[in-house]
Amino acid sequence: MCGRTACTLGQKEICMACSYKSSETGKYVQPEWKDSTDGKEYCPSYNMPPTHHTPVLISKMHMDKTADHSERLLQPMVWGLIPFWHKDADPQSHGLSTINCRSEGLMEKKTFSVPIKKGRRCVVVADGFYEWEKKKTGKQPYLFYFPQRRGLSVGDESTWKKGYNQELWSPKDGWKGPRVLTIAGLFDVWKSPETEKLMYSYCVITVPSSPKISWVHHRMPAILDGPEEVQAWLNYEDVDASNALKLVKPISNLEWHAVSPAVGNVKNDSVELVKHYSSTSGKKLVGSQKLMSAWLQKESPKKSPKKEEPEHNAMKQELPDEWDADGNFQEPPCQGSDHEDEEPPLKKPKAE
């Protein structure tokens, strides 16, 4: 995973989607929402790049030592870890080398070993992540996500947002909307030397890709598949770092479909970006084994106003190196550890 997700649920819905069973009652409860400490807000987006605030799950014990180990908080954090020891008054000066961290050698690097030793494990929540396949004719983006219930389309609320609130969530059954990705991450807390405001930021842990998706890239985010894995990753009191890292592994329980190349420009942000896309020749592009049969053929989506945070923070004044001056994606190597030579992707599986 090298730097783009879709995270389209609003605050209310994402709390529902992240509900979990209470260890006391056995019923589903929603995590408490905690506003970011730096005054910035989470703004849902079909095209979420680093430096934006995205929702992150953490154990409530980080804020309240008397909390039960199963209790959780949802808090917007900046994507791109800023270590607590960063001395410059400008957080942007740390750069974007920490949006990802490789699982291999994670414990040997101060930037990442300190947070994990402090129990600062988090779960990054998103509809899905984008990855680009290199082709002779250019780069084709794909959206990867968990398998969904029949009739639900990830990122497209028109397929599930009907009986809002009561039908979508209940203490008995939990969330009935689309299943969100739960990605293993690390977070840290940086204090501004000028204002003393705290900034929470995170990085995504990456692992070698599973054989099922290695045709598109040789790295993938470390995805926690199921409530037990999420709980174990967050429970830093009972699950130490060495055992928690055993959860960080490639998985194959993913589906995907081709999306419009327009997602390569961070200025584009509309539901068209997550819809199934076919090339102009009409040839259907590869998806997973359980993709819905209906493929939508759309023109490149029109630009729509970007859902900006109320005020740009300092980290958003310049586009990262992976984008050109017009906001077009320039695929970078995975970041956050020693860069290694790109491995050739394996042959892509045939579409069924």
Which are the catalytic amino acids? 2, 131
Contact, 131 vs 141, CB < 8 A? yes
Alpha-helical regions (H) of 63-141: 110-117
Compute the distance between CA of residue 62 and CA of residue 306 in angstroms, rounded to an integer. Answer: 33
DSSP 8-state code for residue 117: H
CA atoms within 13 A on the CB side of 75: 23
DSSP 203-257: EEEEEEPPTTTTTT-SEEE-B--SHHHHHHHH-TTTS-HHHHGGG-------EEE
Compute the distance between CA of residue 155 and CA of residue 218 in angstroms, rounded to an integer. Answer: 25
Compute the distance between CA of residue 294 and CA of residue 307 in angstroms, rounded to an integer. Answer: 29
Nearest residue to 76 (alpha-carbon basis) of 135, 22, 11: 11
Query: Which residue in this structure is represented by tokens 């002779």?
Result: 136
Compute the distance between CA of residue 190 and CA of residue 185 in angstroms, rounded to an integer. Answer: 17
Structure tokens at 45: 């987006």
